[in-house]
Amino acid sequence: MPVAKDEFDDLRPLSFRDPAEVLDEDKLYTIYEISRLLQGLDADADLDGETEAILLDWAIPWMLTNSEEFVFAEPRTDDEPGYYGVDV
């Protein structure tokens, strides 16, 4: 349900950083690690499942919007996620 803007004290513009500002060009990351880095956390920060899901809600559209700036590698094993990095 929509909420009135005046219910919030702090409204800020929505802006996303470029992938090269977030990721090291010499490394590949999982989507989970990228979602943490986008929020200024360590890539290996320990998060509960609910928080991780919220961070993924931000990371996935960001990656799709910037898809031309990414490369990816298939998972090394079946139980591992894929890896993404900056296309340099």
Q: What is the pLDDT of residues 18-46, one digit of tens each?
A: 999 999 999 999 999 999 999 999 999 99
Query: Maximum distance among all alpha carbons in the chain?
Result: 49
What's the whole-number average pLDDT of the chain? 94
% of the chain beyond a pLDDT of 70: 100
- pTM, entire model: 0.83
Domain locations in the chain?
A: 19-86
**Helical spans, DSSP H, in 7-76:** 19-22, 31-38, 49-65
pLDDT at site 1: 93
3-state secondary structure of 71: strand
